[in-house]
Amino acid sequence: MIIAIDGPTASGKGTIARALAAHFGLPHLDTGLLYRAVGRQVALNGGNPDDPADALAATAFPESLLADPELRSEASGGLASRVSIHPEVRAALLARQQAFANQPGGAVLDGRDIATVIAPHADAKLFITASVAARALRRWAEMTAQGRQVSREAIEADLAARDARDAGRATAPLRQAEGAALLDTSALGREAAVAAAIALVEKQL
């Protein structure tokens, strides 16, 4: 069984993907982490994330980089969004994601193009979304809990810029795939969002 989950940053798709993987007993791949690793590796190489050759070279990042907590930072998210525009970067990460999706027994993958490009044959497809205001509030609460001083306005502006880049790019733009169920988590807490996601997956099986 393959479950494909797409959606914008801070929509709750990561939390939902992990919960679905636990519920159905499937391995999970957070594909955003791969793009974050490429973005971080470009920076470590002293390269330019907007240069396709520099970005492509960074797809050869060491496996150990995936465990680096720095990948979770806003800076790495911004770099990921820039390197992910290049078709050659997406192509370089394709085989790895498809191999994970097609492993015997199935898998849960979350990202931006799972149901549209990586696994259009998935058994269940979810498109998770939430308003920019709701997503900014979650991100702000997360960062404030970590003792960081940020304004909600700055986070909202950053999210909106990231959305525009992800949805506006020519290769594999973020969009709801044909047959994907839409789940808006704006007004839902964690438990309610996970319960709704499980129900939507079961309906598609």
Residue 25 neighbours by CB distance under 10 Å? 9
Question: Is position 15 annotated in a ligand binding site?
Answer: yes
Is the Cβ–Cβ distance between 10 and 4 less than 8 Å? no
Contact with ligand C5P (CB under 6 A): which of 24, 159, 162, 193?
162
Question: Is position 59 annotated in a ligand binding site?
Answer: no
Q: Is 111 in the site for ligand C5P (CB under 6 A)?
A: yes
Contacts of 64 (CB under 8 A, 6+ apart): none
Q: Is 11 in the site for ligand C5P (CB under 6 A)?
A: no
Contacts of 193 (CB under 8 A, 6+ apart): 12, 15, 16, 183, 185
Integer Rg of the chain from CA: 16
Q: Is 100 in the site for ligand C5P (CB under 6 A)?
A: no
Q: Is 86 in the site for ligand C5P (CB under 6 A)?
A: no
Question: Is position 105 annotated in a ligand binding site?
Answer: no
What length does the chain have? 205
Of residues 53 through 82, those in contact with ligand C5P by CB under 6 A are 77, 80-81
Q: Which residues bind ligand C5P (CB under 6 A)?
A: 9, 31-32, 35-36, 77, 80-81, 84, 111-113, 162, 166
